[in-house]
């Protein structure tokens, strides 16, 4: 091949940049041209995808672009890890771009689309740049391009004050994170080359230096906290449930599906590649935070009634699962058990791409629903399966994947993470061996609650009867939106049925990072059977599971429908009481009530039930007001004090401001006198 893989990626980035630069000059009110501005990024993503796949199977490549500051050129490097994340980003990027072409049509004539197209392309370019950056300078520039452009995408519908507030919260958290990452790179580069020259700013130089333990610990925790802010790890997750409902759904799909993963990429790059893991408790911290995020995210997702907020909390949960795999891998690495480390890392990486696909699918589905019903509140939906059969089918696939049901892709990665957990009784530390099963149990609880959450989502949104007028007249979205969702669905199914293909492709990545890869012993039917370590211990074959399911379900269907019967359609469960209304169905809140009662202490709940105001007979109650408000405790515990403190400081500083010119002159006068006396 005459074009190297890194050149493919650079070409893709340049195409995205060029589209962003040209978009303001294009008349985006014409549907064809608007489509074009999304098909070009889709093509660019396909090119990048080719580069990423190529990178998995070829040696690493570097490229120096003489841009940026004098003597500080941009260093680019494409290795297996970057390649894998490029596949994730570009894969979902291409799908979402196709979807966007249809999704954004509805905005024509309502608001200017130029800014959206510019920042959408920049956003994709920024994410790709992050993965190929090979020096701290270019990495942070890419990181900022990504953060700022996504800020503008979140703030796209900025006439709404809540959207502006959400975008602002997001940009604040993102920048606190970026600052910590900068400090971390500063420590590493400063130790590598001293603060007098900048030769230590490349990752290549950083890799070669071995930091002393205190510095390495500081660098690790700074970087981890910075990336965790972006990834939405509890307690830095507060921006996620605010930003996602504010952003257009295609942006949510990209942000949740792949932007959070760039943070995971950053963590892997820094810990495994640059500073190397030195202490097992680093991994322990990552593992613990992963568990907290997983359980916390899913509990709040379960309570949520806004479909996009629910998906956002579910992203917190899934990031937690990814971190569990990462943490385990770090612990195994520090206990020098490369085989198990690679198992955990494989599980983690696999969940990265799986979550990208199914969460992208779910957000696209949510976009189609919101688009059709003009509602985000699930309590106002219902019965959509009749009006939107295609969306319902795709959304069901997404729900099954995220609930980790075989044979879809979510199952494989969660199953592998469990395998990694169950193998970890081999830690040379008694307390750890005691605590690890507890973690596995927590993760199992998370998986169950996730399934319950998505049963709730699907049941409330698609099944039953419409709850409001809006929900009565929706329709399936256009072809491009269905195509986008369909592509994501097929990715979920294919990766679920043939996980071994993905895992074997990951072999090179884990081998370079942990020194080993699972699938060490060549298996005769290795495409069929997924054997993490030992066939006696555990193995899984998705194709056979699928076959079994098809046979069983098909057989049952055949048996039931063998002879023609009279089918009678009647209201369900009306128990002879013939006035069933749509308000009598299970609602989102009522479905979540048992958990709300049992685990109420986790939440900050305020529940008000008010009997009717008028003095009617109690037996003949016409209407009852019921209000439920669930708040994030983290907000009150961690963020509110900071906000209050900064307001207090501002008020104290405000006392200096009298608004009298004389007082201001007096300040400078006093300063001059003081300086004269002191100097």
Note the residues at the interface with another protein (CB under 8 A): 651, 654, 657-662, 665-666, 668-669, 672-673, 676-677
Q: Which residue has the tokens 């952003």?
A: 247
Nearer to another protein, 534 or 671 (CB): 671
Nearer to another protein, 448 or 672 (CB): 672
The answer to whether the CB of 604 falls within 8 A of the CB of 487 is no
Nearest to 351 by CA among 396, 408, 293, 267: 408
Nearer to another protein, 608 or 656 (CB): 656
Nearer to another protein, 563 or 651 (CB): 651
Nearer to another protein, 623 or 671 (CB): 671
CB 94, min distance to another protein, A: 50
Helix (H) or strand (E) holding 648: helix 640-654
Nearer to another protein, 161 or 678 (CB): 678
Q: What is each CA distance from 98 to 34, 101, 104, 647, in whole angstroms?
A: 11, 5, 10, 45
Which DSSP category does 478 fall into? -
Rounded distance between C-alpha atoms, residue 240 and residue 506, angstroms: 29
- The neighbouring-strand residues paired with 608 are 627
Q: What is each CA distance from 87 to 83, 307, 576, in whole angstroms?
A: 6, 28, 56
Nearer to another protein, 172 or 672 (CB): 672
CB 651, min distance to another protein, A: 7
Helix (H) or strand (E) holding 73: strand 72-78
CB 180, min distance to another protein, A: 32
CB 663, min distance to another protein, A: 8
CB 459, min distance to another protein, A: 48
CB 673, min distance to another protein, A: 7
The answer to whether the CB of 292 falls within 8 A of the CB of 246 is no
Nearer to another protein, 431 or 661 (CB): 661
CB 657, min distance to another protein, A: 6
Q: What is each CA distance from 592 to 302, 305, 308, 384, 421, in whole angstroms?
A: 6, 10, 17, 20, 29
CB 646, min distance to another protein, A: 14
Residue 605 three-state SS: strand
Nearer to another protein, 575 or 661 (CB): 661
The C-alpha angle 427, 429, 433, rounded to 5 degrees, equals 65
Nearer to another protein, 581 or 668 (CB): 668
End-to-end Cα separation, the chain, in angstroms: 70
- Give me the sign of the Cα torsion angle 101, 102, 103, 109: positive
CB 166, min distance to another protein, A: 24
The answer to whether the CB of 74 falls within 8 A of the CB of 67 is yes
CB 311, min distance to another protein, A: 38
Radius of gyration from C-alpha coordinates of the chain: 27
Q: Is 465 exposed, middle or buried (0-12, 13-18, 19+ CB in 10 A)?
A: middle
CB 328, min distance to another protein, A: 51
Nearer to another protein, 584 or 670 (CB): 670
CB 653, min distance to another protein, A: 12
What does the DSSP assignment read for 380-436? Answer: G---HHHH-HHHHHHHHHHHHHHTT-TTSHHHHHHHHHHHHHHHGGG-S-HHHHHHH
The answer to whether the CB of 342 falls within 8 A of the CB of 284 is no
Nearer to another protein, 501 or 666 (CB): 666
What does the DSSP assignment read for 120-188? Answer: HHHHHHHHHHHHHB-BHHHHHHHHHHHHHHHHHHHTSSTTSHHHHHHHHHHHHHHHHHHHHHHHHHHHH
Rounded distance between C-alpha atoms, residue 172 and residue 148, angstroms: 11
CB 493, min distance to another protein, A: 58
Nearer to another protein, 584 or 665 (CB): 665
């Amino acid at each position: 091949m005459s074009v190297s893989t890194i050149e493919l990626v650079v070409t893709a980035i340049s195409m995205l940049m060029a589209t962003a630069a040209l978009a303001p000059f294009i008349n985006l009110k014409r549907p064809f041209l608007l489509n074009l501005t999304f098909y070009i990024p889709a093509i660019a993503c396909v090119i990048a995808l080719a580069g990423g796949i190529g990178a998995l199977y070829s040696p690493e490549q570097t490229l120096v672009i003489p841009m940026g500051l004098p003597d500080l050129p941009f260093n680019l490097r494409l290795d297996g890890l970057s390649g894998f994340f490029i596949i994730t980003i570009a894969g979902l990027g291409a799908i979402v771009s196709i979807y966007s072409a249809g999704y954004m049509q509805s905005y024509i004539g309502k608001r200017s689309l130029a800014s959206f197209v510019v920042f959408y392309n920049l956003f994709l370019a920024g994410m790709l740049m992050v993965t190929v950056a090979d020096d701290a300078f270019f990495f942070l520039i890419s990181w900022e391009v990504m953060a700022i452009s996504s800020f503008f995408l979140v703030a796209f519908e900025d006439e709404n004050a809540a959207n502006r507030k959400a975008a602002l919260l997001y940009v604040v958290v993102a920048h606190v994170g970026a600052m910590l990452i900068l400090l971390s790179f500063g420590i590493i580069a400063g130790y590598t080359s001293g603060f007098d020259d900048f030769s230590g700013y490349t990752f290549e130089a950083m890799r070669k230096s071995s930091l002393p333990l205190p510095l390495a610990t500081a660098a690790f925790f700074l970087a981890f906290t910075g990336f965790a802010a972006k990834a939405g790890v509890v307690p830095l997750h507060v921006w996620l449930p605010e930003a996602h409902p504010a952003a257009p759904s295609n942006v949510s799909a990209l942000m949740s599906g792949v932007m959070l993963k760039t943070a995971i990429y950053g963590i892997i790059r820094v810990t495994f590649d640059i500073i190397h893991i030195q202490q097992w408790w680093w991994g322990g911290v990552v593992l613990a935070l992963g568990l907290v995020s997983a359980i916390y995210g899913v509990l709040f997702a379960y309570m949520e009634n806004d479909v996009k907020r629910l998906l956002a909390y579910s992203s917190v949960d899934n990031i937690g699962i990814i971190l569990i795999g990462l943490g385990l891998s770090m612990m195994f690495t520090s206990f020098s058990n490369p085989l198990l480390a690679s198992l955990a890392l494989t599980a983690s990486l696999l969940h990265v791409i799986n979550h990208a696909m199914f969460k992208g699918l779910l957000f696209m589905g949510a976009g189609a629903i919101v688009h059709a019903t003009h509602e985000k509140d699930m309590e106002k939906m219902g019965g959509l399966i009749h009006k939107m059969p295609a969306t319902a089918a795709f959304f069901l696939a997404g729900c099954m994947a995220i609930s980790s049901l075989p044979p879809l892709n979510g199952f494989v990665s969660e199953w592998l993470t469990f395998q990694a957990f169950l193998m970890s009784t081999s830690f040379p530390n008694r307390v750890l061996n005691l605590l690890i099963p507890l973690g596995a149990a927590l993760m199992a609880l998370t998986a169950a609650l996730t399934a319950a959450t998505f049963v709730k989502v699907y049941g409330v949104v698609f099944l039953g009867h419409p709850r409001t007028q809006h929900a009565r007249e929706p329709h399936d979205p256009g072809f491009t939106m269905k195509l986008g969702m369909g592509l994501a669905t097929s990715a979920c199914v294919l990766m679920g049925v043939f996980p071994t293909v993905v895992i074997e492709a990951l072999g090179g990545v884990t081998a370079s990072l942990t020194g080993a890869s699972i699938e060490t012993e060549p298996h005769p039917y290795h495409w069929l059977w997924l054997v993490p370590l030992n066939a006696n211990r555990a193995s899984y074959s998705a194709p056979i599971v699928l076959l079994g399911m098809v046979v069983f379900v098909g057989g049952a269907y055949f048996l039931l429908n063998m002879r023609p019967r009279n089918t009678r359609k009647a209201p369900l469960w009306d128990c002879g009481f013939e006035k069933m209304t749509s308000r009598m169905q299970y609602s989102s809140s009522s479905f979540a009530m048992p958990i709300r009662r049992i685990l109420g202490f986790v939440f900050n709940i305020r529940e008000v039930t008010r009997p009717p105001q008028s003095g009617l007979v109690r037996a003949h109650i016409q209407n009852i007001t019921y209000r439920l408000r669930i708040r994030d405790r983290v907000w009150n515990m961690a963020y509110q004090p900071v906000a209050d403190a900064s307001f207090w400081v501002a008020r104290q500083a405000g006392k200096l401001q009298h608004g009298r010119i004389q007082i201001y002159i007096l300040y400078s006068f006093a300063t001059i006198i003081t300086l004269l006396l002191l100097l």
